[in-house]
Amino acid sequence: MALLAALTLFICAVLSVGLLRRRLYCQQGRTTKVPVSVIYHFTRRCNKTCGFCFYTATTSHIEDLSRQEALLLLAKAGMRKVNFAGGEAFLCPRVLGAMVNFCKFEL
C-alpha cells in the first residue's frame, strides 16, 4: 500500500514538472507538445488468468482523490481525450462510473 501511494505521488510530481515546463515554454513564446490523448489504467484487477495478458494482480487500490488529481493535472497539461483501461474495468463499476462522471462534468 505504501509503495502504491509513493508511486502515485511520484506520477503526480512528474506531471506537475511537465506542466511547469510547458508554462515556462509558453511564457517564452515557444510551443511544446502536449498529451492530447491519454490511456488511463486505473486498476490491475482481473478475474481471469489469461496467459497472454500482463494484468496479473488480483487486487489494486488507488485513492479516488489521487485519480481525480491526476486527471486534473493531465487536463491542465492539454489532454483532450481520456481512455480508461486496465484489468477488467467492470470489476470496479463504482470507480469506473465515478471516473466517467468526473471526466464528463469536471474536466
The reply to whether 12 belongs to the active site is no
Q: Are 64 and 71 in contact (CB under 8 A)?
A: no
The reply to whether 50 belongs to the active site is yes
The single residue of 26, 50, 92, 103 carrying the catalytic annotation is 50
* Start-end of H helices in the chain: 2-27, 64-76, 93-106
The single residue of 12, 46, 92, 103 carrying the catalytic annotation is 46
Distance CA 58, CA 48 (A): 9
Distance CA 40, CA 81 (A): 10
Distance CA 7, CA 9 (A): 5
The single residue of 26, 53, 92, 103 carrying the catalytic annotation is 53
Catalytic (active-site) positions: 46, 50, 53
